[in-house]
Structure 1
Amino acid sequence: MVMPSFYPSKGTDGPWVDPTIGDAAARRRFGDRMAQVKATLAKQLVDRRTLAEDGAQTHEMSYTRYGPGASLPRHTDEHHGELKKAHSVASGDENKKRNEGASSPSPSGSEAPRSGDGKTTRRSVTWLVYLNDNWDAQLDGGALRVHERAAPSAAPVGARGADLQIGWLKATASEGELPVFLDAHRPGESGNCCLYAAYADGSTRDLSRAPFTASPTLYLAGGDFFARRLLVDEPRDAARFHLIDSPKSAVSGLLPPTPPEGEDGGERIRDVPPTAGTLVLFDSVSVPHEVLPTTRRERFACSGWFHERVLYS
């Protein structure tokens, strides 16, 4: 059960900000404290300066309850807007409708802002604060399972301007782990998208010889296998390429379970018990995660997303 601060798809406030429900003053104080965390991250993180801006509905907050047996499957909290348009199943959140609204003509006939013009926002940093006293992770379950990369990234993750990350090139003995981004603004006869890898010095290298059209292949059955064959041109790059997220179709249930080391062998698992007072922060784009089933008790948390503006490089 979720008590949100607002509904992105509707543009309306949620029960979190309703002064007639529960202890609204405590929620306001908590919101102010998390706004301080957001401002600190805007100063300390690479290229996240717009986190500090407090626009309308740019900080999602919610109060969540997991009953005994409840869980949440592996997912990421934000995806590239071009992929959301390519297939609605890939959206992963309600920001798909936010982005569609920003790229549609206004009723008056004038052009509304398009994604990437600085007026659209996206989920940038995911946060959780756990509220469970005397929680026994072995007996009560409910841990947050984070699927991290085993090797550190050689370059900043998540986004480069309006280009969001969609995958990785696995680290080798001679080259570090490289984040792979999708540029959806390339001119080309066959499409507008291109994959490229980013390096520590800020340079990039295209992985696609020619622009292509955004495809649900990036999120549907087949995962790395089809993405490597269809979207990455050089065999040496294809062998290293891994999508951030798992496949998202009914066929996924027929595939072998993903091992702890991930589909490409480049992941590792970190389990975080939901102990009262624990604060968790991670990038909303590049970190897959899940919630393991609770067992004996109800599990309570506050969770949310700090938004940043989508800016062209």
Structure 2
Amino acid sequence: MAFLAVPVAAAGLAAVTTPLLPAGATAAIERGQIHVEPGFLPPPLVRSLREDAMSLFEAGLFSPDGLTNTAVGRSQQGFDRRDRQTFRGDGWSSATGDQAARLQFAARMRSLREELAEGLGRPTLASEGERRHEMTYNWYEAGAKLGRHLDEHHEETKGTKGWLRPSRRSVTWLVYLNEQWEAAEGGALRTFPRPQPSSQAVGSDAGNLQVGWLDASRPVFLETREGGLSTLYCRAGGGGGGGRREALSAAAFEVPRQPVDFGAFLAAEYGSRFEQISTSRLDPRFATGTPAEFTEFGELHHVDVLPAAGTLVLFDSVSLPHLVREVTSTRPRVAATGWFHEDSLAVPLFPVGS
């Protein structure tokens, strides 16, 4: 079991901390895989958080929060008790409920975030700020599920509003609070990592977010320059600036409104080698003006995670699609979930290829 990092007091020695994650965890996340850490939280804290979530739910402080279909307004979504429900926002640190348990958990997650900032080479993960990082309770009743989606998309695919936020989701985390949960109760997290780890760092390159794959394992990034023109590229060598850029798009282009088919902008020689992460089939929110039918996409390579008490799940928010399978239990599926943020790019004012 991993324990909260505790300073070691010794005269003349710098503070030493015990890592929360085992060796290889950050490398798995960096290469587009999922990391699962059973027993991340001690049972007493799991119990306190679960009881807190249940009391907050009984007090009516959760609200339906299913996937947003960007083609229709929120009032037309038709949210009900079969959707995910959340307790979020400013309420997490409020005096409502068991504030002490939530703050103890938040301190542990802060230590984890600082560890990931160093291990992933994403230094701005460690930055603090109002509304910078997200922390919620999630609640799924019988019949609730969540469709396949990504937690973060390239700024340019969101329209002009995509460039307004100073930070973006970088690492997704989940900590399950369900005591003795069985596979027959449903509610597993289904993730869709690459069958083999990526050959390069995923998610972003010099701040440019990933939108697809080349040759199954090489991340493809979208760069947008002044004036709104974009290009697709990958790294010929290692990611994160470790290899030269290989231009993939035939010419600079304007990103259209959803659904976006980036394959239409590729040079001919790359078309059959490109795979987009989020498409109208694989991320049905962007397909039509009506809510999409839930699909498990079981024919794709996937990894399922049972929502067992105290288990931590971590993955890159940009590159790893996922869904939540239908809850078949008569009791609710409860988790603490959230996102660690890193700095976003400013409105692009730099030339392509710089």
> Is the 8 Å Cα contact of residues 167 and 242 (structure 1) preserved in structure 2?
yes
> Is the 8 Å Cα contact of residues 296 and 323 (structure 2) preserved in structure 1?
no
> Is the 8 Å Cα contact of residues 188 and 304 (structure 2) preserved in structure 1?
yes
Specify whether residues 50 and 254 from structure 1 end up closer, same or farther in structure 2 by C-alpha distance, changes over 3 A only. closer
> Is the 8 Å Cα contact of residues 137 and 336 (structure 2) preserved in structure 1?
yes
What amino acid does structure 2 have at the position aligned with 1:209?
A: A
TM superposition shift of 1:161: 2.5
Distance 1:261 1:39 in 2: 37
Counterpart among 115, 121, 134 of residue 60 in structure 1: 134
Specify whether residues 157 and 27 from structure 1 end up closer, same or farther in structure 2 by C-alpha distance, changes over 3 A only. same
Q: 2:46: which partner in 1?
A: none
TM superposition shift of 1:101: 4.1
Distance 1:121 1:202 in 2: 26
- Alignment partner of 1:16 is 2:51: no
Counterpart among 258, 262, 266 of residue 227 in structure 1: 262
- Alignment partner of 1:214 is 2:251: no
> Is the 8 Å Cα contact of residues 75 and 246 (structure 1) preserved in structure 2?
no
- Number of residues paired by the alignment? 253
Secondary structure, counterpart of 1:239 in structure 2: helix
TM superposition shift of 1:17: 2.1
TM superposition shift of 1:202: 2.4
TM-score (normalised: structure 1): 0.75
Specify whether residues 299 and 38 from structure 1 end up closer, same or farther in structure 2 by C-alpha distance, changes over 3 A only. same
Counterpart among 198, 212, 229 of residue 192 in structure 1: 229
Distance 1:136 1:30 in 2: 25
Q: 1:92: which partner in 2?
A: none
Q: 1:183: which partner in 2?
A: 223
TM superposition shift of 1:250: 2.6
TM-score (normalised: structure 2): 0.66
- Alignment partner of 1:146 is 2:186: no
4+ aligned runs moved over 3 Å, structure 1: 99-102, 251-255, 257-262
What amino acid does structure 1 have at the position aligned with 2:181?
A: W
Deviates most, 195-204 or 140-149 = 195-204
Q: 2:288: which partner in 1?
A: 250
TM superposition shift of 1:261: 4.9
Q: 2:115: which partner in 1?
A: 40
1:1-313 matches, within 5 Å, as: 1-4=85-88, 6=89, 13=90, 15-19=91-95, 21-46=96-121, 48-85=122-159, 96=161, 99=162, 101-102=164-165, 120-137=166-183, 139-171=184-216, 177-185=217-225, 192-198=229-235, 199-200=237-238, 201-216=242-257, 219-220=258-259, 226-228=261-263, 230-235=264-269, 237-247=270-280, 248-250=286-288, 259-262=297-300, 268-296=301-329, 297-311=331-345
> Is the 8 Å Cα contact of residues 186 and 211 (structure 1) preserved in structure 2?
no
Q: 2:21: which partner in 1?
A: none
> Is the 8 Å Cα contact of residues 250 and 265 (structure 2) preserved in structure 1?
no
What amino acid does structure 2 have at the position aligned with 1:133?
A: E
TM superposition shift of 1:233: 1.2
Specify whether residues 261 and 195 from structure 1 end up closer, same or farther in structure 2 by C-alpha distance, changes over 3 A only. farther
TM superposition shift of 1:260: 3.8
Can you list the C-alpha shifts for 1:61-88, whole angstroms capped at 9, x where unaligned?
A: 00111000100000000111111007xx
> Is the 8 Å Cα contact of residues 175 and 336 (structure 2) preserved in structure 1?
yes
Specify whether residues 280 and 209 from structure 1 end up closer, same or farther in structure 2 by C-alpha distance, changes over 3 A only. same
Secondary structure, counterpart of 1:38 in structure 2: helix
> Is the 8 Å Cα contact of residues 3 and 64 (structure 1) preserved in structure 2?
yes
Specify whether residues 169 and 298 from structure 1 end up closer, same or farther in structure 2 by C-alpha distance, changes over 3 A only. same
> Is the 8 Å Cα contact of residues 146 and 325 (structure 2) preserved in structure 1?
yes
What amino acid does structure 1 have at the position aligned with 2:107?
A: D
Specify whether residues 203 and 186 from structure 1 end up closer, same or farther in structure 2 by C-alpha distance, changes over 3 A only. farther
Distance 1:260 1:251 in 2: 25
> Is the 8 Å Cα contact of residues 209 and 233 (structure 1) preserved in structure 2?
yes
Q: Which runs of 5+ in 2 are unaligned?
A: 1-84, 281-285, 347-353
> Is the 8 Å Cα contact of residues 296 and 325 (structure 2) preserved in structure 1?
no
What amino acid does structure 2 have at the position aligned with 1:182?
A: L
Distance 1:150 1:24 in 2: 41
